[in-house]
Amino acid sequence: MHKIGLIDYGMGNIHSVTKSLESLGEEIILIKNFNDSKLCKAIILPGVGAFDPAMNNLINTDLVTDLKNWIKSGKSFFGICLGLQLLFESSDEGKVQGLGILKGKIQKIPNMVNQRIPHMGWCQLLPTKPNALLELEELNNWVYFVHSYHAIPDDLNIIAAQVDYGSEKLTAMIENDNLLACQFHPEKSGKTGEKLLRRWLSNIQ
């Protein structure tokens, strides 16, 4: 069992993430300032909502510098949905600068015939490289998405998995050293989400 810090900044799906991890035997510590993180082995940045209000909440709660320092230190970090998008430099959704931990930007999902925005529902993950969560040969990688914006990293090598959207492929998962983030919601993805969370937890040092 680990102590897992869940950043509580008013924009996350705190209840469902907490319930999901507690069902796996983990102890959750809600992080409102990083003094609360001293006993944590890993930090999760959840997120539901819009980019600018989320960044403003992080700024107003003085979490930005400590969050950046946590990731730079090499400790385990996991971002979920908006928690992935905030890691980048900017978003088409707003004007506030992102955390800038990853180079690149968040763009509106393109309008396509027979495709709806938000991109919502169950979709299969398509691994792009060996990574901590997905086995390349696995077929049952169906997870739950709900988003209208997607990540365009400058370094495409950090994309660990994609998802089909019409003729396009969208970024579904990012992995960069100790940083792991997913656009989908593992806490809403049933047995597959549970499997992925277990794998992440098993890699925590």
Q: Which residues are catalytic?
A: 81, 185, 187
Helix ranges (DSSP H) in the chain: 14-22, 51-60, 64-72, 82-85, 190-202
119 C-beta neighbours (distance < 10 Å), count: 19
Peptide bond into 118 cis (omega under 30): yes
Q: Which amino acid is at 107?
A: Q
Compute how many other C-beta atoms are within 10 angstroms of the C-beta atom of residue 78: 25
